[in-house]
Amino acid sequence: MTTVGKVIKCKAAVAWEAGKPLVIEEVEVAPPQKMEVRIKILFTSLCHTDVYFWEAKAQDSVFPRILGHEASGVVESVGEGVTEVAAGDHVLPVFTGECGDCAHCKSAESNMCSLLRINTERAVMINDQKSRFSIKGKPVYHFLGTSTFSEYTVLHVGCVAKINPLAPLDKVCVLSCGISTGLGATLNVAKPFKGSSVAVFGLGAVGLGAAEGARLAGASRVIGVDLNPARFEEAKKFGVTEFVNPKDYNNKPVQEVIAEMTDGGVDRSVECTGNINAMISAFECVHDGWGVAVLVGVPHKEAVFKTHPLNFLNERTLKGTFFGNYKPRSDLPSVVEMYMNKELEVDKFITHTVPFAEINKAFELMLKGEGLRCVIRME
Ligand X SMILES: NC(=O)c1ccc[n+]([C@@H]2O[C@H](COP(=O)([O-])OP(=O)(O)OC[C@H]3O[C@@H](n4cnc5c(N)ncnc54)[C@H](O)[C@@H]3O)[C@@H](O)[C@H]2O)c1
Nearer to ligand X, 105 or 206 (CB): 206
Q: Catalytic: 102?
A: yes
Should residue 296 be labelled a site residue for ligand X when binding is judged by CB under 6 A? yes
Q: 3-class SS at 242?
A: strand
Give the Cα separation of 114 and 99 in Å (integer). 8
Q: Catalytic: 262?
A: no
Among 131, 146, 181, 269, binds ligand X (CB under 6 A): 181
Q: Are strands 317-320 and 292-295 parallel, antiparallel or unpaired?
A: parallel
Q: Tell me, what DSSP letter sits at residue 262?
A: T
Nearer to ligand X, 221 or 319 (CB): 319
Should residue 322 be labelled a site residue for ligand X when binding is judged by CB under 6 A? yes
Give the Cα separation of 348 and 369 in Å (integer). 16
Should residue 344 be labelled a site residue for ligand X when binding is judged by CB under 6 A? no
Q: Catalytic: 173?
A: no
- Identify the bridge partners of residue 375 per DSSP, sorted by sequence position: 45, 353
Nearer to ligand X, 110 or 134 (CB): 110
Give the Cα separation of 236 and 151 in Å (integer). 35
Should residue 65 be labelled a site residue for ligand X when binding is judged by CB under 6 A? no
Cα 187 to its chain centre, rounded Å, is 16
Give the Cα separation of 19 and 42 in Å (integer). 25
- Identify the bridge partners of residue 41 per DSSP, sorted by sequence position: 73
Phi, psi of 82 (to 5 degrees): -85, 120
213-252 residues in contact with ligand X (CB under 6 A) are: 225-228, 231, 246
Residue 38 binds which one of Zn ion, ligand X, none, with CB within 5 to 8 A depending on kind?
none
39-58 residues in contact with ligand X (CB under 6 A) are: 47-49, 52
Q: Catalytic: 316?
A: no
Should residue 328 be labelled a site residue for ligand X when binding is judged by CB under 6 A? no
Q: How far is the CB of 195 from ligand X (least distance, A)?
A: 25
Q: Say how many C-beta atoms besides its own lie within 10 A of residue 91's C-beta.
A: 29
Q: Catalytic: 177?
A: yes
Q: How far is the CB of 284 from Zn ion (least distance, A)?
A: 26
Q: How far is the CB of 308 from Zn ion (least distance, A)?
A: 32
Catalytic residue among 10, 159, 173, 177: 177
Q: Which residues bind Zn ion (CB under 5 A)?
A: 47, 49, 99, 102, 105, 113, 177
Residue 139 binds which one of Zn ion, ligand X, none, with CB within 5 to 8 A depending on kind?
none
Measuring CA to CA, which residue among 28, 32, 34 is closest to residue 4?
A: 32
By CB under 6 A, the count of residues binding ligand X is 34
87-92 CB contacts, 8 Å cutoff, 24+ apart = 87/4, 89/162, 89/165, 90/162, 90/163, 90/164, 90/165, 90/167, 90/169, 91/37, 91/39, 91/160, 91/161, 91/162, 91/163, 92/160, 92/161, 92/163, 92/172, 92/173, 92/175, 92/176, 92/332, 92/336
Should residue 202 be labelled a site residue for ligand X when binding is judged by CB under 6 A? yes
Nearer to ligand X, 127 or 228 (CB): 228
Q: Which of the stretches 27-35, 58-66, 273-281, 344-352 binds ligand X when contact is defined by CB under 6 A?
A: 273-281
Active site residues: 47-49, 69-70, 99, 102, 105, 113, 117, 177, 373
Residue ranges in contact with ligand X by CB under 6 A: 47-49, 52, 177-178, 181, 201-207, 225-228, 231, 246, 272-275, 277-278, 296-298, 321-323, 366, 369
